[in-house]
Amino acid sequence: MARYHPSEDWLTAYASGAGDEATGVLIATHLTFCSDCRKAVRELEAIGGALLDGMNMEELEGLPDAPHPPVVSRPVLKTEANGTDPAAYTQGTFSDIAPRPLLRYVFDQLGATDIDALPWKFYGPGVKRAVLFQGPDGASIRLLRSRPGAAFPAHRHGSEELTLVLKGAYRDGVDRYQTGDVQCVGETAAHQPIVEQGGECIALVVSDKPTIPLGIVARIVQRIIGA
């Protein structure tokens, strides 16, 4: 059972359909781990449906667009649009750690089903990164694969960042995040995740802006690798 969850705002945006696809994939993947959030989303969907049932079309047309957190906007999943057989994306090694919503998304973006076939690149000592989508202004959806004990440089973000742990665990200050947990980091918050010993950690990360390292060495490395 997950101990850390998306905020109520994120769940509300997801339940109402007002969120973007990138965050939707992350939350949908988290829901496969978390019965509490599945229940919350069902309740939010029921509330939204009841409110709509009580309004006429003229009232609906007068409503402003619903606000939602602005993380990477994406089109409809191709596998859903063309009726792709789930067997096409659920039989590779990536399925050992990734639930179906993420498997489907990765297959859409990269056509990959095996974890070692993903475009992993050096991202720092003991850390590799596979970018699933790169948007304007540094927006990205990526996977991070970290060795036991790997420590990320202290950094902050220019936007809110969501991280979902798919395998393993890491600590950030006094908090410990393990499989199924979602860490929400504000755009001005500084932090330094450290992967626990005992096994690698793989996480899905979504944000609108690139990482901002706080140390000069980390900034130089970021420029070299083009992160």
Amino acid residing at 83: G
Residue 212 confidence class, pLDDT cut points 50, 70, 90: confident
Q: Is residue 102 part of a domain?
A: no
What is the structure's pLDDT at 66?
A: 41
Higher pLDDT, 19 or 216: 19
Could you give the C-alpha distances from 189 to 126, 136, 149, 211, 213, in angstroms and in order? 24, 22, 22, 11, 12
Q: How far apart are the first and last CA of the chain?
A: 33
Residue 154 in this model has a pLDDT that exceeds 60: yes
Q: How many domains does the chain have?
A: 2
What is the domain-level CATH number for residue 34? 1.10.10.1320
Cα-based angle 193, 150, 114 (whole degrees, multiple of 5) = 100
Residue 149 phi/psi, 5-degree rounding, is 85, -5
Which residues form the domain of 154? Answer: 114-225
Q: Is residue 85 part of a domain?
A: no
For the whole model, what pTM was predicted?
Answer: 0.81
What is the structure's pLDDT at 134?
A: 84
Per residue in 42-81, pLDDT (tens digit) is 999 888 665 555 555 455 455 444 433 334 434 345 555 5
Q: Are residues 138 and 205 in the same domain?
A: yes
Q: Are residues 217 and 127 in the same domain?
A: yes
What is the domain-level CATH number for residue 152? 2.60.120.10
Q: Are 169 and 177 in contact (CB under 8 A)?
A: yes
Q: Are residues 119 and 215 in the same domain?
A: yes
Per residue in 167-181, pLDDT (tens digit) is 999 999 899 999 999
